[in-house]
Amino acid sequence: MKPLNIEIIPAIDLKGGNVVRLKQGNYSDETLYDSTPQAFIDQWLEMGVKRLHIVDLDAAVNGQSSIENTNSIEAIASRYKNQLKIQVGGGIRDEATLQKYFDLGAEKVIIGTLFFKDFELYEQLFNTYGEKIILALDTNNGYVCHSGWQTSSNEKLMRVLEQYRAVLPVEVMVTDIQKDGMLEGPNFELMSQLVAFGKNNRINFIASGGISCSADIEKLDSLSVKSVIVGKALLERKIV
């Protein structure tokens, strides 16, 4: 891959301590990988990555992490604390859970569902933790979804961004659910809109969902997208 300005952030989704990937957020359509998280991470370090994205799928659905996932996150953070900045998301619906991930070694935490279910608490956390929070806005056909992608908010993504621009953190991650895990390319049109919005509001949008090859990343780079989450394409070595 040619030198790029865009930051590539590998993703690991954990379920019962195992690395899995879902298709379009469907928990009944998962791929289970035999390799340990550490085996994948060691490969990515050789590629020069500096940040790792971890999703606790158990917590995203149940609101509470499994012991296996918690232990895995702690082990990753401890082993790679001097090599990687780690961001963790999934089921962060109160300050205690957020603080737990910081205590485990996360550099940043990702908040999604809480934004819709308890905006007052979200705002308190935003004012307290600032740049250590990443807001996750997941979209399906232009509408925002939450609760592990299981619930539609009936709110248009761009309307949500306009309405809440004063309380958006420096980084906002946007996942196109229809693209996620499909290896069919990201939503370039959406990311182009988000980049324009971000330039006017000092927000860096993290693209997520659908990356299939190096050409996808190069096109996002040409659109001035700052960062991209890459999951399945890296796990299956379609990008090396």
Pair of tokens at residue 151? 């619930």
Pair of tokens at residue 58? 């158990």
Q: Which of 46-55, 81-90, 172-181, 217-226 has the lowest mean pLDDT?
A: 172-181
- Half-sphere exposure in the Cβ direction for 12 (13 Å, CA): 28
* Predicted confidence band of residue 153 (pLDDT cuts 50, 70, 90): low
With b for 16 or more beta-carbon neighbours within 10 A and e for fewer, the 129-148 pattern comes to beebbbbbbbbbeebbbbbb
Task: Kindly report the average pLDDT of the chain as a whole number.
Answer: 90
pLDDT in tens, 84-142: 999 999 889 899 999 999 999 999 999 998 998 899 999 999 999 999 999 999 898 88
Residue 206 near residue 229 (C-beta atoms within 8 A):
yes
The ranges assigned to domains in the chain are 7-235
- CB-neighbour burial class of residue 4 (10 A; exposed 0-12, middle 13-18, buried 19+): middle
Fold of 7-235: TIM Barrel (3.20.20)
Residue 7: per-residue pLDDT:
97
Q: Return the C-alpha torsion angle 229, 47, 170, 76, nearest 10.
A: 80
Tell me what percent of the residues of the chain surpass a pLDDT of 90.
Answer: 68
3-state secondary structure of 69: helix
181 φ/ψ sector (left φ>0, alpha ψ -120 to 50, else beta): left
**In the predicted model, what is the mean pLDDT of residues 57-83?**
90
Q: What is the pTM of this model?
A: 0.91
Which positions are annotated as active-site residues? Answer: 13, 138
Residue 239: per-residue pLDDT:
84
User: Is the predicted pLDDT of residue 151 greater than 60, yes or no?
Assistant: no
**What single letter denotes the amino acid at residue 240?**
V
Question: If residue 4 lies in a helix (H) or strand (E), which one and from where to where?
Answer: none
3-state secondary structure of 76: helix
* Predicted confidence band of residue 34 (pLDDT cuts 50, 70, 90): confident
